[in-house]
Amino acid sequence: MQKRVLVTGSEGFTGRYMVSELRAAGYGVVGLGSHESASADYVQADLTDAAALKAVMAEVQPDVVIHLAALAFVGHGDPNGFYHVNLMGTRNLLEAINASGKTLDSVLLASSANVYGNQAGGVLNESTPPAPANDYGVSKVAMEYMARTWLPGLPITLTRPFNYSGVGQAENFLLPKIVSHFKRKADVIELGNLDVWRDFSDVRAVVQAYRKLIEKQPVGETFNVASGKTHSLREVLAMCSEISGHEIEVRVNPAFVRANEVKTLCGDASKLRNCIGEWQTPELEETLRWMLMGDA
């Protein structure tokens, strides 16, 4: 019998790839979002509306929930929004799942590597103490602690994805912003600190990891989703220049230099591989080529 998965944030960047990954693997998928959509198998409900979420759960009766919906842009103008959506919205969802009366196979909640904050170098694993450096990271740490209060009643698994990108990500995120400048052959790009190092994964690999986790059902566990390699923004710019054959003048705009900038983020994904088996994300150059040229 086909398993039914409810994916929150299904119309978002990650959500669209998640839905495709699940359907390709034979799952029945129902998407959930706060906006109207003409997509098939989609329900509209806001995470801050507890009653609406309970109605959705009663109607859909999923076997699995993958919770991707969140305010994710660190520079978002309203700090309170992170807490309303990422913390209280997730609590409303878990309460709705619990009230549905159905025993689910898995509830996967996407947290973020931002929970680690400004850690002092090295490779971060799941036992690294959280030290969030901004409201987004704090909201995700709070969400993780809140979610644990629903264990063992709900089969919750937490993920902490590091930076990831791909075709279709909004340009207020770093890699899409850089890619868009190269695609339109801009003369100048304004960026913040070029000497930050990030662990970049490919969205297609991230959603594959999520699918494998709901199949393994490691209840109560937390997993980094990361490449284990870091690249500086200077390296990203050099790769884009080489792939596109276009040179761009880079100007550092002090307005883009964040006071609480996380200097280096690199994740250890060995726990993930020990759970789901062999898993790799494409090299960053391959992801950038896909984004710049449309090549798989």
Point out the residues that are catalytic: 136
Comparing CA positions, the residue from 219, 62, 223 lying closest to residue 151 is 219
**128 alpha carbon, distance to own chain's centre:** 19
64/89 Cα distance (integer angstroms): 18
Tell me the one-letter amino acid at 149: T
Q: What are phi and psi of 149, to 5 degrees?
A: -70, -15
CB 93 within 8 A of CB 136: no
Q: What DSSP state is assigned to residue 289?
A: H
DSSP code of residue 84: I
Element (DSSP H or E) covering residue 65: strand 64-67
